[in-house]
Amino acid sequence: MDPAGLVWIVTGGSSGLGKAVADALVAKQGLVAVLDLNASSDGNKPEDKVAYFQCDVGDEESVKAALEGVKALWKGKKWGGVVHAAGVGMAGKTVGNDGTPFSFDIFQQVHRINLLGSYLIASNVAAVLASQRGPLPRNVTDPSTIKDAGVIILTSSVSATEGQMGQVAYASSKAGVEGLVLPMARDLARYGIRVMNIAPSLFSTAMGKGTSDKVRQGLLATTLHPPRFGEAPEFAKLALAIIDNSYLNGGTLRIDGGGRMAKM
């Protein structure tokens, strides 16, 4: 799928992985709507190609209002899909050193943003994509004539399957994101919409730099090659490769330098 001339939703696009994706899509002549709680222009992107919408991805009204704003701005323009990179990470053990359980309020907040936000963004963007073409015909004589109606790319984490100590909220929320992918791809196949997920390890973003030195050193020790943390443009390249490759659907791709997380 060629991203040029299509509207792309990028959540968390004001910084980190999302910003790298937004930059890459603009370079491919896409129209990018950045949805971010702290949405603000960096001044380096053409105003006719990028627009910013304040959005809390875990709040249904906020998501719907932002997407309505996108529709109004680029009325009549065809949408290509979404790269959902927004998320939070809040550490805490199930039972802390003081003997108290991890805050249920924080646990809920992590799931609201990471898991419920993924569903809210994906389902509402999918509704727009589905409306652009409708269900595919049942009897197709030449499958090669069927083109993508859109692409939904979610973001989980290698923590979804290798959660470390202190990641009970984060890891479970990201495992939930991975659980969305295949059933959602099956739901949306009749419209020609693909659904994929990227599971990154630690990247050199604000979230990655916010981890403790002990955790960073432990992760780096298990990384095979290259022996460093990921860079945001590498994540963006993978997102664009998914958009381009129509046979990628219903799965999760790790981007981790071959590393595996230890228990802490």
AA letter at 90: M
Q: What is the DSSP string of 117-156?
A: HHHHHHHHHHHHHHHHH-SPPS--S-GGGPPPSEEEEEE-
SS3 104: helix
Please say whether the beta carbons of 255 and 201 come within 8 A. Answer: yes
Lateral strand order in the sheet of 79-84: 50-54, 31-36, 7-11, 79-84, 150-155, 193-200, 252-255
The tokens of 161 are what? 């399957």
Catalytic status, residue 191:
no
Count Cβ neighbours within 10 Å for each residue of 156-195 and write b for 16 or more, e otherwise: bbbbbbbbbebbbbbbbbbbbbbebbeebbeebeebbbbb
Write the DSSP assignment of 22-46 as a string of letters.
Answer: HHHHHHTT-EEEEEETT----S-S-
* 52, 170, 191, 247: the active-site residue: 170
Residues annotated catalytic, as ranges = 170
